[in-house]
Amino acid sequence: MAIEVFVDESCRGGEYLLAAVTVDARSVKASRTATRRMLLPGERRMHFSKETASRRRQLLDQIVRLPLSATVLTSQSGDSS
């Protein structure tokens, strides 16, 4: 079985976040289509930091139905400054 992995990272304060989403290669096209349908009119991309709490819940309710698996790793910075 072939899979595709999509990765994103973020640093906030002293915390580093790494998210990896795996999707069966046969489901990538349908998952992308479903994700695009979640965009509001005029939106080109989804970015949770710009969404309201209710919109985030709405998006997550739809995302959990997609055939994918997600892993989030966190790390605290060793820098004490």
Range(s) of the domain holding residue 67: 3-40+47-76
Q: Residue 64 falls within a domain, yes or no? A: yes
Q: Residue 81 falls within a domain, yes or no? A: no
Contact by Cβ (8 Å): 24, 3: yes
Q: Residue 27 falls within a domain, yes or no? A: yes
| Structure confidence at residue 81 (pLDDT) | 45
Q: Residue 51 falls within a domain, yes or no? A: yes
Whole-structure pTM value: 0.77
| Structure confidence at residue 78 (pLDDT) | 61
Q: Residue 36 falls within a domain, yes or no? A: yes
Q: Residue 11 falls within a domain, yes or no? A: yes
Q: How many domains does the chain have?
A: 1
| Other beta carbons within 10 Å of 23 | 20
pLDDT tens digit sequence for 12-62 = 888 999 999 999 999 999 999 999 999 999 999 988 888 999 999 999 999
Provide the pLDDT confidence category of residue 63 given band limits of 50, 70 and 90: very high
